[in-house]
Structure 1
Amino acid sequence: MKPRPAAGQARPRTGARVAAVQALFQAEQTGESPEAVLEQFLRHRIGAAPGEQGFEDGRVEEADTALFARVVRAAATRPEDLDQVIASHLAAGWAMGRLDPVLRAILRAAGAELRDMGGPPARVVIKEYMDIAHGFFGGEEPRFCNGVLDAMARSLRAEEFHKG
């Protein structure tokens, strides 16, 4: 699973979020704990490697490792609650299991960041994860992702959307 690399300068915070999505995807697909996958990423998949370029072979060349770890750990905290938050913003009849696994990982990482971390404004979080969604998908998935993320942000961070 690797996104199309973004053009332009390195963005360590975006790299952290891409790595978090990849780690959550890997943990779900392999059944490994998110903490074990986090450690693997920190040792082997984040940072420049001789002869490697950017996201090749799942490598994230530049990433804010502290943000990466916070997002993965936040998603691993109360994962059933997080999935319930996400599922409550899906259309009627849609279950989490029906989502593409990469899309599920994007929603989990973004949802964890919106739910648990404070941090940047919700609109910034949405934009970052939308950039990631566009890196992985070329069809309707980014639009679907945007709708779910916007609804989640308005629910989890309502105060940001009701400023006078």
Structure 2
Amino acid sequence: MSQPKPRDPSAPRPANQRGAARLAAVQALYQMDVGRQTLEDTLAQFSAIHVGREIEGEEYLPADADFFRQIVSGVIKSQLQIDPAVDTALVDTWPMGRIDATLRAILRAATFELLKRRDIPARVVITEYVDVAKAFYEDEAPRMVNAVLDQVAKTAGRDNDPAKTR
């Protein structure tokens, strides 16, 4: 039996690549919402420019390009299921149409994963998207994202997920 090769410490870890894909997916979904770009144009633009490169002095981590495409495409294909799930989890005074485009993108991407990617523990999805929210907001928004996603997970039957957040 051969010894496993040590991992190159400078190589991005798969988890980091998925986290970068989630961040890029939120940015792409935001751009589609605000800029009214097509799915094809957005995927092409983000794959060529935003994923794993330096842009205007900002260094983007290498992202899992396939995972990025799965999230963005999945949100678009499942939006008629995703938006009502998010809207139901929001408080009555803040319906989906009232929250800003960045929060909508975060909640849509995370809800896609909670509803359609049962191979990923709910705890991981919620934690990752709360971290994405922290990249954009310093106020109460990350806590709101946590609460809404927790409710989506419960409604989707993911509250018994053994890795669920506490």
TM-score normalised to structure 1 length: 0.83
Following TM superposition, by how much is the alpha carbon of 1:50 offset from its aligned partner in structure 2, in angstroms? 8.2
Aligned-CA RMSD value:
2.1
Instruction: Provide, for residues 37-89 of structure 1, a one-character-per-residue CA deviation record: whole Å limited to 9, x for no partner.
Output: 112101121122488442xxxxx331011110111111011312211110010
Give the corresponding residue for 1:154: 154
Give the corresponding residue for 1:14: 19
Larger radius of gyration: 2
Give the corresponding residue for 1:46: 51
Following TM superposition, by how much is the alpha carbon of 1:151 offset from its aligned partner in structure 2, in angstroms? 0.5
Count, aligned residues: 150
Give the corresponding residue for 2:68: 68
Runs of 4+ in 1 over 6 A off after TM superposition: none
Query: Does the Cα contact within 8 Å between 2:107 and 2:145 map onto a contact in 1?
Result: yes
SS of the aligned residue for 1:160 comes to coil
Give the corresponding residue for 2:131: 131
Query: Does the Cα contact within 8 Å between 1:133 and 1:142 map onto a contact in 2?
Result: yes
Following TM superposition, by how much is the alpha carbon of 1:159 offset from its aligned partner in structure 2, in angstroms? 5.9
Structure 1, 78-87 or 14-23: larger mean CA deviation: 78-87
Q: Pick 1 or 2: higher relative contact order, CA cutoff 8 A, min separation 6.
A: 1
SS of the aligned residue for 2:151 comes to helix
Distance in 2, Cα, partners of 1:162 & 1:64: 26
Instruction: Provide, for residues 105-155 of structure 1, a one-character-per-residue CA deviation record: whole Å limited to 9, x for no partner.
Output: 000000111111223100000000011111110001111111001001112
1:68–1:157 CA distance, 2 compared to 1 (3 A): farther
Distance in 2, Cα, partners of 1:50 & 1:140: 29
Q: Which runs of 5 or more structure 2 residues have no equivalent in the other structure?
A: 1-11
Distance in 2, Cα, partners of 1:81 & 1:103: 17
Give the corresponding residue for 1:24: 29
